[in-house]
């Protein structure tokens, strides 16, 4: 009789334990699903999709990187004193080192020195001003849209922080790629795209 009671008790405990484990698994799956939903929600809200049309007529694509960087060399010197250029970029932070403004990021300590991420934003700004006569607000909005497209990791991390959520929960960080030794990492991989020649193997690939 005593043995029967022990067997029944153990059986009940085993069933209770199984039920508790199942409940925990369901809760964890629910949390993971909720986390995924939140990131998807933020991405849809603030990150433009590849191929999206822009106000200035160039669809968002990594293929534009070489052209935007080239404009940094050829057009930026012609607009550096234009208040629209200065004010628009000074209203944005550099996504590779956000304790600096996009107008002069942390890698511009030496004359002519800049990472290709920032060069691309400045080149685009120069084109919008010189060739399309854009105003300050238009330039600012267009460059921000470009930065969000090429470096979604940073802007998603910022959005999470703004909601009081640690971005590291999602393997994201607002700690600048410039400070993490990623100056020569492709922009599409969360880096700066190189300090001289553009490093971006994703250009020309089927996924670009």
- The answer to pTM > 0.85 is no
CA-closest candidate to residue 92, choices 84, 82, 83, 103: 103
pLDDT at 40: 95
Tokens standing for residue 185: 């990492």
pLDDT at 80: 93
pLDDT at 4: 59
pLDDT at 163: 95
pLDDT at 33: 43
Are 187 and 115 contacting, i.e. CB atoms less than 8 angstroms apart?
no
Tokens standing for residue 11: 């059986």
Mean pLDDT, consecutive 10-residue segments, the chain of 208 residues? Answer: 55 55 43 71 96 98 98 96 97 96 82 87 98 98 98 98 96 95 96 95 67
pLDDT at 112: 65
Tokens standing for residue 133: 């006569």
pLDDT at 32: 40
pLDDT at 128: 98
Spacing of C-alpha 190 from chain mean position: 7
pLDDT at 106: 84
Where are the chain's structural domains?
62-189
Are 136 and 84 contacting, i.e. CB atoms less than 8 angstroms apart?
yes
CA-closest candidate to residue 121, choices 98, 148, 97: 148
What CA–CA distance (Å, rounded) separates 121 from 48? 16
Are 191 and 107 contacting, i.e. CB atoms less than 8 angstroms apart?
no
- Distance between start and end Cα atoms, the chain: 72
Contacts 24+ apart (CB under 8 A), 6-9: none
Burial classification of residue 82, based on how many CB atoms lie within 10 Å of its CB (0-12 exposed, 13-18 middle, 19 or more buried)? middle
């Amino acid at each position: 009789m005593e043995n029967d009671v022990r067997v029944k008790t153990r059986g009940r405990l085993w069933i209770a334990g199984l039920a508790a484990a199942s409940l925990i698994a369901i809760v964890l799956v629910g949390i993971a699903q909720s986390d995924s939903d939140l990131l998807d929600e933020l991405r849809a809200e603030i990150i433009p999709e590849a191929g999206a049309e822009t106000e200035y007529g160039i669809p968002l694509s990594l293929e534009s990187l070489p052209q935007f960087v080239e404009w940094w060399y050829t057009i930026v010197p012609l607009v550096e004193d234009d208040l629209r250029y200065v004010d628009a970029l000074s209203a944005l932070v550099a996504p590779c080192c956000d304790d600096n403004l996009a107008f002069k990021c942390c890698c511009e300590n030496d004359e002519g020195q800049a990472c290709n991420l920032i060069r691309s934003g400045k080149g685009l700004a120069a084109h919008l001003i010189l060739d399309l006569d854009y105003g300050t607000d238009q330039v600012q909005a267009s460059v921000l849209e470009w930065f969000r497209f090429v470096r979604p990791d940073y802007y998603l991390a910022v959005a999470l922080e703004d909601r009081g959520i640690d971005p590291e929960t999602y393997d994201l960080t607002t700690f600048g790629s410039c400070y993490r030794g990623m100056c020569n990492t492709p922009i599409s991989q969360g880096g700066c795209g190189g300090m001289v020649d553009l490093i971006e193997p994703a250009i020309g690939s089927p996924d670009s």
